Amino acid sequence: MSKLVIVAIGGNSLVRDNGRDSIQDQYEAVRETVVNIADMVQEGYKVVVTHGNGPQVGFAMQRVEIASEVSGMPTIPLVNCVADTQGGIGYQIQQALTNEFARRGINKKVASVITQVEVSKDDPNFQNPTKPVGSFFTLEQAEAMKKDHPDWVMIEDSGRGYRRVVPSPKPIDIVEKDAIKSLIDADYVVIAVGGGGIPVVRTGDNTYDGVDAVIDKDFATSLLAEQVNAETLIITTGVSRVCINFGKPNQKALEKITVEETKQYVTENHFAPGSMLPKIEASLSFLEKNGSRVIITNPESLKDAIHERAGTHIVK
């Protein structure tokens, strides 16, 4: 039986900078990323792809505000912006992978699943927004945006600039997990839990309501990996390896570390909240359930990372 790998693509990796943030630019980034995923499929791995949507949700929200101010168009709730970007990015990954398989003569089908993810309506994050969405801004730009939108919360994000943050409740169930399992069993490459999934709360007997929030895609991916019994979870980010003492003279890249060592580094505050820390916490959650290993690396190193030639590997 082929080994099942879940690959999480960061939303920021699809928008390289403010000068290259069009849909076509994003598609070009997707095309480059799926080459590495196709390599894994060609080597015999079963693959499920998830992705972030932080910048894309930010763009969608900006479009909604501009359309409302200029033309009086009805506003679109945040939860619908999450759903819209999940579908849009999923379509691009699905098409790019399908085309890459065709170029290689690989007989493999790809399907995207519009995925709802259950959260608790009592999650404390609804009162304490922490999830960055949208582009990076300078301090001056962030202060100007706060004047226009007094209810927005803007934070400094790992030295890269300022971003808006919105509620980010923890995922507790993948609603469409059985459909995703069926597609995996039918030998599809599945794209699911895009943007962390569409956040919903249970409201009665098997009924749900959408809520305005953005679920962290790494936590949702970890939960999905657990629920579909994946062996390996790969989380892509902007660096080839995780570092301790990041940005300091004694910075050290980590190649292979145990769960216990990783927990110690968390205790010593080596990983930034809102940046690397959620990826580490999601990794530990997966490994403490049924996972065998987690790899954290950048998209271009995927093929080498799966063979332990790149990336940070966290093992039991």
Q: Which residues are catalytic?
A: 11-12, 131, 217, 279
Nearest alpha-carbon partner for 215 in 258, 168, 155: 168
Note whether 314 and 258 are within 8 A (CB).
Answer: yes
For residue 6 the two structure tokens come to: 């879940």
Cα dist from 198 to 18, 82, 163, 189, whole Å = 26, 6, 21, 20
Burial 259-288 (b: 16+ CB within 10 A, else e): eeebeebeeeebbeebbbebbbbbbbbbbe
Note whether 116 and 176 are within 8 A (CB).
Answer: yes
